[in-house]
């Protein structure tokens, strides 16, 4: 999950340990000050009566690792990100000190935190169908007599391949998160847990010296079959059963992952093991820097560098709910109200993008296809203009941010306007077609200078800054050099009477229509097409794509060959012709012939 998505948080749901009194009172005050809803439940209670899936929710746990594990069990199936406040004594998971709680929460709801994805285990055994975040232990049941047999034998298969027979006191199957527990004490490898999805099998007190830990993928199906009565526990006994001989246990990676919010105020994984386990390759007092500076490079960013980074993060964040909802458009449950689902997708993506931009660039204006008119520059995030949480003005100041403010604060400051289309290709989206995109542009005065187009279904990100070239995921883009129309592939946008298709289909190698203007321009930039035609355009349709195409070497004009007249407030039809350059005059000539025939 992209951390920028947290900027749209509406509601906090807190799972509270019995000794959380003071921390809970402070959390209540913090939520009240920021206009956020707060619901609390005791550890072990169901949140079903207070959780609303239609509200952007941040989960919080107030307690130690036990409370944190309850939070994962509660929030992970609901895809809710979770921040742990450490009120315990030996916490590896909840890592924010209570004294830093408000600062960490502020960082989260401004969209400046990171969200780590944690692998879970899915366990299917007689009487058990559950998930765990740490480990599964399959162990010999202690004998009643002290001289009774203390060894168990386990047959293990991974996917369709027989691994062998493990003889010893048992076997642990753990996630990277659980690698600091039993598996580490049994000489298993230590895994860095963030965004690491491996599973590992650790033999416990095996009688064969050659048996070593095994690491496999989260899609692997691990079957364990005991030859006698055996104990199975999940996450230190949170779930427990006794297996009969030859019972089959299936362990694999869970479909849902836990989303853990990490801020610069929480101590890191290696700090945790240094403090708790005496990690000897780092001094105990070697504390990492704290505060927002810890998440940024030491070199100050220019405003435009920062703007590109923020735009990419906002686009990726908006893509998440789009992908989630796109997968449901053909669900029989939603076919009758598909328009409502598409409207919800549009709204969610728009709200994420405009909130992130308003939080980071409060002096910039925003024009969005989905917003009602222009959001005036100078309005602070605390006004909720962009739909985000209310944050006190003093918490949103840009003085602390590591970038050059000169471009925004000078006496002759340029007027900056963000132009956003949160879902370009709505018709495609509504029919389950993957050709849709998120488009974000920055306009200086009246000229687009930065463009980001993200394609959720392929996870491609096209971006460009004026004068600095165009890229897709770091790879430079360039148009084709074809000069012959009969060797060229064309893309057409809206073509109301089919004249472009009729006139060019036989002349070119083919004319295609994707139904997404932003993608048309990006594919022109990448050389996937040689020219594009849009009968009519809106600024949010093309602002980002124009920057990307031009920086890749494309020629962009109107249908008369004049420079394309980009206007935030347009009057009348605005056609767009884009090409690789060498083809442009031929295309214009043919368009002229078409117009003459039509006249």
Where do the domains of the chain lie? Answer: 1-117+258-295, 121-253, 300-458, 485-598
CA–chain centroid gap for 556, Å, is 33
369 is in an annotated binding site: yes
**d(Cα 563, Cα 62) in Å, to the nearest integer?**
59
Torsion sign, CA atoms 529, 535, 538, 539: positive
**d(Cα 352, Cα 321) in Å, to the nearest integer?**
10
52 is in an annotated binding site: no
Digitized pLDDT (tens) for each residue of the chain, 599 residues in all: 889 999 999 999 999 999 898 999 999 999 999 999 999 999 989 898 899 988 999 999 999 988 998 999 999 999 999 999 999 776 678 889 999 999 999 999 999 999 999 999 999 999 899 999 999 999 988 776 666 667 889 999 999 899 999 998 899 999 999 888 888 888 888 899 989 999 999 999 887 777 889 999 999 999 999 998 899 999 988 899 999 998 999 999 999 999 999 999 987 888 878 777 777 777 655 555 554 444 444 457 799 999 999 999 999 999 999 998 887 766 544 444 566 778 888 999 999 999 999 999 999 999 998 764 445 444 433 333 344 444 444 443 333 443 444 444 443 578 999 999 999 999 899 888 999 999 999 999 989 999 999 999 999 999 999 999 999 999 999 999 999 999 999 999 988 888 788 788 888 888 999 999 999 999 999 999 999 999 999 999 999 999 999 999 999 999 999 999 999 887 778 999 999 999 999 999 888 765 544 44
End-to-end CA gap in the chain: 54
Residue with tokens 């994707």: 514
The residues facing 472 across adjacent strands are 462, 475
Q: How, if at all, do strands 249-253 and 161-168 pair?
A: unpaired
Q: Which residues contact 591 (CB under 8 A, 6 or more apart)?
A: 533, 559, 577
Question: Can you give the three-state secondary structure of 128-150, one letter per residue?
Answer: EEEEECCEEEEEECCCCCCCCCC
Residue with tokens 């072990």: 44
3-state secondary structure of 518: helix
For the stretch 524-580, pLDDT in tens is: 999 999 999 999 999 999 999 999 999 999 999 999 999 999 998 877 789 999 999
The residues facing 204 across adjacent strands are 170
Find the helix packing angle between 101-109 and 21-33, rounded to 10°.
40
Whether 65 is catalytic is: yes
One DSSP character per residue, 553-593 reads T-EEE-TTSSBP---SS--S---EEEE-STTHHHHHHHHHH
CA–chain centroid gap for 131, Å, is 23
62 is in an annotated binding site: no
Q: How, if at all, do strands 161-168 and 199-204 pair?
A: unpaired
3-state secondary structure of 428: helix
**d(Cα 142, Cα 140) in Å, to the nearest integer?**
6
Which tokens sit at 177?
Answer: 């998160």
275 is in an annotated binding site: no
541 is in an annotated binding site: yes
Find the helix packing angle between 303-326 and 338-360, rounded to 10°.
160
Looking at domain 121-253, which CATH architecture does it have? Sandwich (2.60)
- φ/ψ of 459, rounded to 5, equals 60, 30
- φ/ψ of 333, rounded to 5, equals -65, -30
Domain spanning 485-598 has what CATH number? 3.40.190.80
**d(Cα 75, Cα 91) in Å, to the nearest integer?**
19
CA–chain centroid gap for 380, Å, is 25
150 is in an annotated binding site: yes
**d(Cα 472, Cα 451) in Å, to the nearest integer?**
12
**d(Cα 117, Cα 253) in Å, to the nearest integer?**
13
- Candidate list 65, 86, 350, 530, residue with the active-site label: 65
The residues facing 461 across adjacent strands are 454
423 is in an annotated binding site: yes
CATH class, 300-458 region: alpha beta
**What is the Cα Rg of the chain in Å?**
28
**d(Cα 254, Cα 265) in Å, to the nearest integer?**
29
Residue 105 DSSP class = H
Burial of 450 (0-12, 13-18, 19+ CB in 10 A): buried
- φ/ψ of 161, rounded to 5, equals -110, 125
Burial of 79 (0-12, 13-18, 19+ CB in 10 A): middle
Residue with tokens 């400046």: 112
**d(Cα 437, Cα 516) in Å, to the nearest integer?**
7
CATH 3.90.1150.10 given to domain 1-117+258-295: no
**d(Cα 2, Cα 94) in Å, to the nearest integer?**
20
- φ/ψ of 115, rounded to 5, equals -115, 115
| DSSP H helices in 515-579 | 517-526, 539-551
One DSSP character per residue, 350-366 reads HHHHHHHHHHH-TTSEE
């Amino acid at each position: 999950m992209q951390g920028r998505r947290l900027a749209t948080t509406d509601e906090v749901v807190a799972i509270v340990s019995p000794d959380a009194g003071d921390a809970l009172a402070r959390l209540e005050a913090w939520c009240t000050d920021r206009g956020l809803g707060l619901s609390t439940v005791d550890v072990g209670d169901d949140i079903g009566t207070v959780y609303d899936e239609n509200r952007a929710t941040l989960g919080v746990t107030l307690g130690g690792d036990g409370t944190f594990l309850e939070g994962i069990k509660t929030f992970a199936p609901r895809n809710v990100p979770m921040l742990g406040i450490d009120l315990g004594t030996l916490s590896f998971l909840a890592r924010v000190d209570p004294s830093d709680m408000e600062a960490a929460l502020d960082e989260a709801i401004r969209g400046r935190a990171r969200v780590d994805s944690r692998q879970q285990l899915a366990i299917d055994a007689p009487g058990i169908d559950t998930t765990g975040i740490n480990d599964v232990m399959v162990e010999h049941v202690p004998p009643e007599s002290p001289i009774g047999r203390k060894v168990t034998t386990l047959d293990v298969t991974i996917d369709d391949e027989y691994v062998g027979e493990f003889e010893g006191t048992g076997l642990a199957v753990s996630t990277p998160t659980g690698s600091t527990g039993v598996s580490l004490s049994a000489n298993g490898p230590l895994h860095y847990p963030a965004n690491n999805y491996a599973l590992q099998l650790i033999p416990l007190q095996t009688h064969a010296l050659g048996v070593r830990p095994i690491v496999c993928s989260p899609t692997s199906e691990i079957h364990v079959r005991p030859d006698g009565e055996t104990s199975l526990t999940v996450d230190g006994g949170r779930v427990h059963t006794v297996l009969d001989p030859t019972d089959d246990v299936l362990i694999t990676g869970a479909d849902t992952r836990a989303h853990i919010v990490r801020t610069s105020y929480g101590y890191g994984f290696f700090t945790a093991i240094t403090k708790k386990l005496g990690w000897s390759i780092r001094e105990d007092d070697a504390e990492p820097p704290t505060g927002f500076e810890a998440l940024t490079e030491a070199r100050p960013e220019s405003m435009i560098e920062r703007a590109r980074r923020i735009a990419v993060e906002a686009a990726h964040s908006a893509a998440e709910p789009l992908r989630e909802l796109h997968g449901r458009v053909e669900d029989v449950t939603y076919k009758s109200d598909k328009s409502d689902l598409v409207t919800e997708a549009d709204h969610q993506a728009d709200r994420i993008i405009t909130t992130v931009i308003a939080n980071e660039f409060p002096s910039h204006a925003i024009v969005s296809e989905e917003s009602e008119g222009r959001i005036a520059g100078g309005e602070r995030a605390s006004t909720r203009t962009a739909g985000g949480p209310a944050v006190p003005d003093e918490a949103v100041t840009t003085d602390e941010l590591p970038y050059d403010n000169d471009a925004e604060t000078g006496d002759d400051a340029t007027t900056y306007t963000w132009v956003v289309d949160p879902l370009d290709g709505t018709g495609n989206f509504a029919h389950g077609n993957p050709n849709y995109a998120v488009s974000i542009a920055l306009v200086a005065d009246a000229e687009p200078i930065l463009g980001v187009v993200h394609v959720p279904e392929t996870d491609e990100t096209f971006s460009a800054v004026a004068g600095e070239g165009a890229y897709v995921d770091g790879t430079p883009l360039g148009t084709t050099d074809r000069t012959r129309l009969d060797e060229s592939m064309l893309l057409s946008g809206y073509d109301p009477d089919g004249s472009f298709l009729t006139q060019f289909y036989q002349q070119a190698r083919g004319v295609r229509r994707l139904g997404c203007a932003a993608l048309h321009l990006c594919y022109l930039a990448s050389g996937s097409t040689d020219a594009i035609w849009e009968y009519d355009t809106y600024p949010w349709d093309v602002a980002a794509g124009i920057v990307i195409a031009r920086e890749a070497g494309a020629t962009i004009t109107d249908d008369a060959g004049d420079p394309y007249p980009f206007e935030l407030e347009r009057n009348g039809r605005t056609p767009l012709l884009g090409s690789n350059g060498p083809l442009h005059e031929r295309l214009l000539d043919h368009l002229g012939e078409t117009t003459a025939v039509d006249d």
